[in-house]
Structures are given as structure tokens and as C-alpha cells.
Amino acid sequence: MNPAKLSRTLAAALLVSAVLAVPASAAKRRSVAHRSPGVEFTVNISGVVLDNVTGQPVVGVELSTGQRFDATDTQGRFDLKNATGHGSILVEAKRSGYLPFSTRITPGAPTALTIRLTPTPTVTVRLTNGEVKNLDNESLKFGYPLAFTGYIESESEDFCKIADSSKVSINKSQMARLVGPAQIVPAGSCCTDNAAKMTLTLKNGEVHDVLFTDTCQERYKVDIGGREHVSGQFVHLLITDVAEVIFP
């Protein structure tokens, strides 16, 4: 081959290789940049959590950044000191009775936050003395204290249907309404001695007179427990003090 022609051919090949190598090199640099964790920074994050419907402060909301934790006071205020992150800090807010919320703080962004939480449906409990309690549905459980063991609780309750003495365990998600007041009555073939009776309506439309089997022979005093939606306090209400429970 002519030396001059060979030289021109080699030069062209080297030029093509260089052009093809540039995008790959750039892509590699972009990939490395994408994996960068970002600049580490530390800030104090504070603010208030409000109900998005009523505008009122929300008590007992758990705030976290992964390393720092706080809970809102009666004024809905919180303070997360010395929160540290790389590139950004994830702030999460959670409480029963509300949808979870999250936001990210970046360097230089405002750290005084007003967080508005969207409420979820509550359980309405009307007591025999006329009081009405609105409890967070996510927190509501049936339970009873057990000596030397502690408190036993569950989102389901064991019943005996008075009509046929069949025993069933029903989750609160299946319940539409419990009507009382709960009365201690002869349990018949459901169990020996007495038990607490109420009328249960299910979401599928079925209605049953039921006995709380845990109250058979008055062994345990069953209650309905949960977090009051407004005050944020947990309460336990004896079923014998309950006139009606309306589930969402």
C-alpha cells in the first residue's frame, strides 16, 4: 500500500475511535455524578402540624428525619434539632387518624414548616351517659386486662350468635354498627352462666344479636380502646358503658 495512503487511513481510523469514545466517557462521568450522595448539611427543623380540614393543631404526631425524632405538643408544635442529611433530608409525619405526610429539605430551603395532615374517617362511640367519643379507626381495638400478663387487645372480637350459638371472630373492618347498651344476660348454650350482649350489624347487611364470649362467666371486662381524634389521648371504654358504636 502507498505509504501516504496508509498514513491517511490510520489517521481516519484514530479520529473515528476518538469520536466514538467521547459519548461513552461522558456517560460514565454522568453516571458517577448521579451516584454522588450530595453535600452533607445540618439544620434545625421546626414548625406546626395542622388538621387540613379544621385548621386546628394536631396532637401526638410523630415527626422523624431518620436520625431525629419528636412528637407534636398540644399546640401542634415540633422541633427536630441537628437533623443531618446528604443532598436533602426526608421529613416524615405520622399519626393514626391522618394520612401520612413527607417532604424533603434541601440546603438553603426554609426549615420552619407548616404541615397540614388530611384526616381519615373516625369511629363514633356514644356512651350511656350521653358522651360521644370520636376515635381514630386505625387505633381502635377490643381488649381486656389479664392478671399477671398485661393487656390483651385485637382488631377482631370473638362473638357467639344467640340465634344458633355459632361462634365467630369478626374483624372491625367488617362491622358497621354495635348497638347496646351492653347487658349481662344468661348465655344459654353459648357458654355457661352469663355474658355481655349487644346487637351487631355487619357491612354486608347482616344483623345479629351477639354475646362477647370473653365475658362468659364474667371472666373478663371487655372494652373498646382507641385514640381520641382531637385530644390525641388513648381511652378504654367498657362495653357495658357503651350505647352505640358506628364504624366508618
Q: How far apart are CA 201 and CA 56, in angstroms?
A: 33
The predicted pLDDT at position 41 comes to: 95
Cβ atoms < 10 Å from Cβ of 25: 9
Residues with Cβ within 8 Å of 160's Cβ and at least 6 positions away in sequence, in order, are 166, 167, 168, 187, 190, 191, 195, 210, 211, 213
Residue 37, pLDDT score: 62
Helices (H), the chain: 3-34
What is the reported pLDDT for 30? 46
Residue 200: C-alpha distances to residues 153, 165, 247 (Å): 19, 15, 11
Task: DSSP letter for 118, please.
Answer: P
Q: Are 120 and 98 in contact (CB under 8 A)?
A: yes
Backbone φ/ψ region at 68: left (φ over 0), alpha (ψ -120 to 50), beta: beta
Query: pLDDT of the chain along its 248 residues, tens only?
Result: 444 443 444 344 444 444 444 444 444 444 333 444 678 999 999 999 999 999 999 999 999 998 899 999 999 999 999 999 999 999 999 999 999 999 999 999 999 999 999 999 999 999 999 999 999 999 999 999 887 778 899 999 999 999 999 999 999 999 999 999 999 999 999 998 899 999 999 999 999 999 999 999 777 899 999 999 999 999 999 999 999 999 99
Q: Is the pTM of this model over 0.85?
A: no
Provide the sign of the torsion angle of the four alpha carbons 6, 10, 12, 16, taken in this order: positive
CA atoms in the 13 A half-sphere facing the CB of 240: 11
* 53 φ/ψ sector (left φ>0, alpha ψ -120 to 50, else beta): alpha
Torsion 181-184-187-191 (CA) sign: positive
pLDDT at position 169: 97
DSSP annotation string for 12-81 = HHHHHHHHHHHHHHHHHHHHHHHT----EEEEEEEEEEEETTT--B-TT-EEE-SS-EEE--TTSEEEEE
pLDDT of res. 28 = 43
